[in-house]
Chains A and B, each alone.
Chain A
Amino acid sequence: MKALLMHRDHDFDRQHELPFDAEALIQDLELNTLFNAMACGDRFLFEVAKVAVLSPSTDIDTIIYRQNILKDCLNNPSLVRNMYKIVIEAIESEKKNYWSIFVKHPEAILNRSVDVLGMLMGMLRKLRTVADEHAGKFGSAGFRAFFAMLQKDLDDEYFATVQNHLNYLKFHQGILIAAALGPGNKGTDYMLCRPPDRTPGWIERVFTRQPRYYTFTLDDRDEAGFRALAELRDRGLNPAADALARSADHILAFLAMLRAELAFYVGCLNLYDQLTAKTMPVSFPLPAPAGERRHSCRGLYDVGLALTMEEKVVPNDLSADGKRLVLITGANRGGKSTFLRSVGLAQLMMQCGMFVPAESFAANVCDGLFTHYQREEDPAMTSGKFDEELARMSAIVDHLRPGSLLLCNESFAATNEREGSEIAAQIVRALVEKGIKVFFVSHMYEFARGWYDRHMDYAVFLRAERQGDATRTFRIVEGEPLPTSFGRDLYDRIFVD
C-alpha cells in the first residue's frame, strides 16, 4: 500500500538528497521564511516543506499531478487536515502508549505487536471511513486513487482476518513449536506451528493422534527452570514475533509516508491562509518543457518579503519568452535583489507543484537552479574574496547542465570593474551558449553595456526604475543599462546633513 500523493507511481523521498548548493539557495532566496510560513511552528512540516521545495521536479506531469491534489486541498481544507490528524494520532499513539522495543524477549515483542496492531487497525478503519463518506468531493487523480485503495485493501473481510490472527496469538491453548537437532545436539530451527484447525480441543487431538509422547513438568520452585522455559518459548516465537513487529513497522511506515505526503499539502494550506489574509494573489503556474524558453509573469512578488513586510510589496511583470539571458542593472536598493529572489522562489515553488506568488506565471522547468551571490563575508575564507568567488563559480559549473537556471547577484564584483566585467562576460557567454538560462544582477556598466551593444536577441535588459525626483519605485522595468548606478542618491539620502 502506498499513499502516492506526491508522485503518481512512487513514494515521496523524505531523505532525498538536497542539491549540493542547498545551503546557498536557502540563504540567497531566504527560503527559511517560506518554510516557516508553511510550518507554522511545526518542525515536521518545516522539514517536509524544505525537502519538497528543494527537490524541484522537471517532470511536468508530476507538477500538474500535485497542482490538482493541491486544488482539492484548497477546496476541502478541513477534511485534509482531519486525515492528517488521524495519521498523527496513530503514529503518536504507538510511541506514547507502548513501551519501546528495547527488550530482547520475542514473547514480549510479540505481545506488544499484537496490541499495537490492534490499535493501528482501529486508526486505519477511521481513514477508511473518511474515504467511504467523502471520496466524492475530491476530483484529483491522486486523491481518487488513494481513497479507492483504502476501500479495496482495507475491506471488512480483511479486518476480520487480522482479528482472527491477533486472537490466536494470545495462545490460550499453549504454544506449539517444532525443532530439530543442531550443533551440539541443541535444539535449532525453532518454528511456531500453524494450528491445524481452530475448533475447540484441537491441541488434544494433535497429541492423542500420536502413538507416543513424553511430558516434562517443572517443579513449582524451579526458578531457573521457568527462566529456561521462557527462553524456549522465546526461541519458538522468535520468527513470529519478528514478522508481527515488522508488520507493525510496515503499517507505521505507510502511515509515516502518508503523514509526510499530506504534510506537504498541509504546509501549502498554511501558506495559502497567510497570503490570502494579506490579500496577496496566488495562481497555479503553467510549466513548460525544459527545452522551451519561457519566462513570463504578471504581478510576481517575493513571497518572503510579502510575509514579513507590513506594507504591500511591489509586484513585477516580466516577459522574457525565448530569452536565455536576463540582465538587470540600475539603482542600488532599487528592488533588483528582491526581484531576482522572487524569480528563484517562483521557479522552485512551481517545480514542486505549489501555487506561485503571482497573478500569472509561465516558465519552462529548469534542470537545476543555482545561485551565485556576492557573499558579504565568509568566515571560512582562506583565500582572497575574488578567489573565493571564482572557486564557488567553478563548483557550480561542475553541476550545471543544459537547461539549468543560474541567478547571479553582483557576481565578480570583488575586483576592479574591468577585470570583473571581462570574467563575467566570458563566463556568461559560455553558459548561455551551452543552453543555461542566466539572470544576472549587476551594477557593472561595462559588462551590461557590452551585451546590450551586441544586440543579442536572446538577451533582455531590465532596470530598477527611477523616477525623475530620484525616488525608487522598487519596480523593475525593461530598459538599457545606464552608465552609473545610483549609489550617489543613496549617499545623498543617508548623509542628509
Chain B
Amino acid sequence: MPFSILFPDTYEGPRETPEAPDFFGDLNLDQVVDGITAGRDQYGLKPFFHTSLAGIDAVRYRQEVFRDLENRGVRGPVETFSQAMAAMRERLAQAEKLRYRYQKEAWFVDAVAVYGEAVAALARDLQSTDVASRGLAAFRAHITSYARSAAFTSLWRELQELQTALSTVRYCLLIKGKHIRVRKYESETDYSADVAQTFAKFRQGAVKSYRVNFPDWPQMNHVEAAVLDLVAKLYPDVFAWLDEYCEKHRDFLDETVARFDREIQFYLAYLEYIGTAGRAGLPFCYPQVSVASKAIHSRDGFDLALAEKLVAANVPVVVNDFHLQGRERILVVTGPNQGGKTTFARAFGQLHFLAAMGCPVPGREARLFLFDRLFTHFGTEEDMENLRGKLEDDLVRIHRILRRATPGSIIIMNEIFTSTTLEDAVFLGKEVMNRIMALDALCVCVTFIDELSSLSEKTVSMVGTVQPENPTVRTFKIIRKAADGLSYAVSIAEKYRLTYESLKGRLNP
C-alpha cells in the first residue's frame, strides 16, 4: 500500500465505509460526525468516521498522530498547509472553467504558486519540530526529499521569475465612442486625487463611500479579452513564456502529498471539533484500549453531541463515571425521567466508538474495550398506537442483535419494552438480559424495571440522582448504587406534605 497517515502500512481491515453504521442515529454520532466534518465536504471524510479500527496497533498509530498534532508547533504548519492546498484546488478548478487562454493560464500559474509555497513551508516547518508518531515521521521524510528534488525546485524558481514579469505589465486605455486604444503605461498620475484635493476644504469627517464594488467574477467579457490580447501584443515575450510554462508543468501535483492533504483532515477536523468543549474546560483523554480485558472504566466522561450544544449555550455539562470489574459486564441504569439516563448510555457508546477510531475521548481518563461490533436498540415512549406491533418490532430487532452479537460485542439498550404491561416487561427484560449475560458481552441497559439491576454478579446498578433538598431538581449525575425507584416518589410526596405521616398531622384537628 502507498503511504497513509491514517493506517499503518500493514493494516488489513476495511479503510472506508460509505454508509453510517446502524447505531449512529441512536448514539447521536451522526450529529457528532456532521459537526466534525462540517466545512470539509471536499475531503469526503465521513467514510473514515464510519469505520472503527480492527486492531490495537492501528488505534495506537492514530493516537500517536493525534498527540503530535496537539502540539501547536506541528499542527499549525499542517493547518496552514491544508488551507493552502484548498486554495490551490480552487484555482485549478477555476482555470478549468474559464474560456480565454491567458486567463486559464493565469489561474493555473496561481495554483502552482500556492502549491509551491505550501510544500516549501511545510517541509521547512516540519524539519524543525519534534514528531514522535510513526505516521508523521514517515511523511516528514517524504516531503523533505520531495521539496529538495530537482522537479520541485525548478518548477518553483521559474514560476517566481514568470510572476515578476507579469506584474510589470501596465497599460493605458483611451476610450472614446466605440474605439479603445491600448498602449504601454507612461507614468501618468491619478486625476481623482486632484479632484479630492480641490474639495478637501469642505471635508466634515466621514461620509459614505460611493465606490462601486464591481462583481469580480473570474470570467472576462469579450471586450476585456480583446484588450488583453492587445496587451499581449504589446508584451509578446512575457505572454509566450506564460504559454510555455503552463504546457511544461501540467502534472505538477505529487500523489503522496495530495493523499496526505486529504487524510490529515481526519485529525484536524476532530481536534477542531473537540477544541470547543476543551476550551470550556471539559477533559479529553487517550484511552487505553484492550481486546482481552472487559474491566473498563471512565472518569468524567460525557456525551459529546450534547456537550457541543450545552457549551454553545453556555450551560454547564455534567460528567459521569463508570467502571466494570471482575465478572461485571452490564450497567443497568434506573432513576427519574429526564435524569440523564439516556445521555449516560449514549456517552458509553460514543466513548467506545471514538476509542475504536483511534481518537481521544471525552473524560479525564479511560480504559475501554475494543469491540468487534456495537449494537444499539433505543425504544421510544411515544408510538402507543399499535402496542402489539411495537412490541413485536422491539423483539424482532433485539433478536437480530443477539443473533449477530459475539462475546466481543457491545450492546446498548435504552427504554425497551415500555410499550407493554409491567409483567411482560419484567419477563421479557429478564429473558433478554439472561441471554446477554450468557453471551458475556458488554452492555448498558436503561430501564424502569428495578429488578433487572440485580439479576446476577454480572449486573451493576446505576441510578440517576436528584437534589436531596429539592427532589424535583435533577443533578444528571448517574451513580453506582442500588435501584430505589420509590425513594424519588417518597421525597416528592414529602415536599408537598402528602406522605402518610404528613397527612396524619395535617388531618388532625
**Does A430 belong to the interface (CB within 8 Å)?**
no
B428 an interface residue at 8 Å Cβ cutoff? Answer: no
A153 and B209 contacting across the interface, CB-CB below 8 Å: no
Asked if A207 contacts B170 (CB within 8 A), the reply is no
Q: Which residue of chain B has the shortest Cβ distance to A174 in the bound complex? A: B176
Q: Tell me, yes or no, whether A210 is within 8 Å of chain B by CB.
A: yes
B102 part of interface (Cβ distance < 8 Å):
yes
Task: Tell me the smallest distance from the CB of B117 to a CB of chain A, in Å.
Answer: 16
Whole-angstrom distance between the alpha carbons of A493 and B13 in the complex? 104
1/0 per residue, CB under 8 A from B, across A212-248: the answer is 1111111010001110110111111011111111110
Report the nearest B residue to A105, measured CB to CB. Answer: B212
Residue of B nearest to A154 (CB): B201
Check if A175 sits within 8 Å of B176, measured CB to CB.
Answer: yes
* Known contacts A210-B184, A214-B181, A250-B202, A177 near B172 by CB under 8 Å: yes
Give 1 or 0 for each of A238-280: 1 = CB within 8 Å of chain B CB.
1111111111011101100100000000000000000000000
Per-residue B-contact encoding for A169-193, CB less than 8 Å = 1, 0 else: 1000111111111011111000111
A101–B167 Cα gap in the complex (Å)? 35
Q: Are A250 and B198 in contact (CB under 8 A)?
A: no
Contact present for A249 and B207 (CB under 8 Å): yes
From B169, B193, B208, B228, give the contact of A180 (CB < 8 A).
B169
Q: When the two chains form their complex, are residues B233 and A214 in contact, meaning their CB atoms are under 8 A apart?
A: yes
CA of A160 to CA of B230, assembled, Å: 40
Is residue A195 contacting chain B, with contact meaning CB distance below 8 A?
yes
CA distance A153 to B200 in the complex (A): 11
Q: Is B169 within 8 A of A240, CB to CB? A: no
A460 within 8 A of B: no
User: How many interface residues does chain B have, given as a range?
Assistant: 35 or more
Does B407 make an interface contact (CB < 8 A)? no
Query: A177 to B221, alpha carbons, bound, how many Å?
Result: 18
Q: Is B174 in the interface zone, CB < 8 Å from A?
A: yes
Minimum C-beta distance from A167 to chain B (A)? 13
A207 and B174 alpha carbons, distance in the complex (Å): 9
Q: Are B103 and A184 in contact (CB under 8 A)?
A: yes
Nearest CB to that of A248 among chain B residues?
A: B199
Count of chain A residues with Cβ under 8 Å from any Cβ of B? 73
Tell me the interface secondary structure of chain B in the complex.
mixed
A249 to B190, CA, bound (A): 21
Q: Are A226 and B183 in contact (CB under 8 A)?
A: no
Interface residues of B in 185-214 (CB under 8 A from A): 185-186, 188-196, 198-199, 201-205, 207-212, 214
Tell whether B166 is near chain A: CB-to-CB under 8 Å. yes
Cross-chain contact B211 with A242 (CB below 8 angstroms) = yes
In angstroms, Cα B110 to Cα A183, docked, is 8
Q: Which residues of A are found within 8 Å of B205, using beta-carbon distances?
A: 253
Of all chain A residues, which has the CB nearest B109?
A185
Residue B504, interface by CB 8 Å: no
B contact residues around A153 at 8 Å (CB): 201
A378 to B169 alpha-carbon distance, docked (Å): 73
- The distance in angstroms between the C-alpha atoms of A214 and B173, with both chains bound, is 10
B177's nearest neighbour on chain A, judged by CB, is A174
Question: Are A246 and B186 interface neighbours, CB within 8 A?
Answer: no
Closest-CB distance, A6 to chain B (whole angstroms): 14
Chain A 156-169: CB-based contact to B (< 8 A → 1; otherwise 0): 00000110010001
> Across the interface, do B175 and A229 meet the contact criterion of CB distance under 8 Å?
yes
Q: How far does the alpha carbon of A198 sit from the alpha carbon of B176 in the complex, in Å?
A: 17
| CB-defined contacts of B173 to chain A, threshold 8 Å | 176-179, 232, 236
**Is the CB of B182 closer than 8 A to any CB of chain A?**
yes
* Contact A187 to B227, CB < 8 A, known contacts A165-B195, A177-B172, A251-B202: yes
In the complex, which of the residues B94, B185, B193, B223 contacts A229, with contact meaning CB atoms closer than 8 Å? B223
**Nearest Cβ on chain A to B165's Cβ, whole angstroms:** 10
Chain A, residue nearest B185 (CB): A178
> B residues within 8 A CB of A109?
210, 212
A274 to B367, CA, bound (A): 90
Residues of A within 8 A of B221 (CB): 224, 228, 231
* Least Cβ–Cβ distance between B199 and chain A, in angstroms: 3
Q: Is the CB of B174 within 8 A of A174?
A: yes
Contact of B183 among A191, A210, A246 (CB under 8 A): A210
B18 at the binding interface (Cβ < 8 Å): no
Contacts of B203 in A (CB 8 A): 250
In the complex, B285 has a CB within 8 A of chain A: no
- Any A CB within 8 A of the CB of B107: yes
Q: Which residues of A contact B147 (CB under 8 A)?
A: none
Interfacial residues of chain A within 80-110, with CB under 8 A of chain B in the complex: 101, 104-106, 109
Interface status of B106 (Cβ within 8 A of chain A): yes
9 interchain residue pairs of minimum CB distance: A174-B176, A247-B199, A228-B223, A240-B192, A193-B188, A245-B210, A213-B183, A253-B204, A185-B106
What are 10 A-B contacts with C-beta separation under 8 Å? Answer: A1-B202, A176-B173, A177-B172, A179-B171, A180-B169, A215-B181, A217-B179, A228-B224, A247-B198, A250-B204
Excluding A177-B175, A178-B173, A206-B186, 11 further A-B contacts by CB distance (< 8 Å) are A165-B195, A177-B174, A181-B106, A185-B166, A210-B184, A214-B233, A218-B179, A232-B227, A236-B175, A238-B211, A241-B210
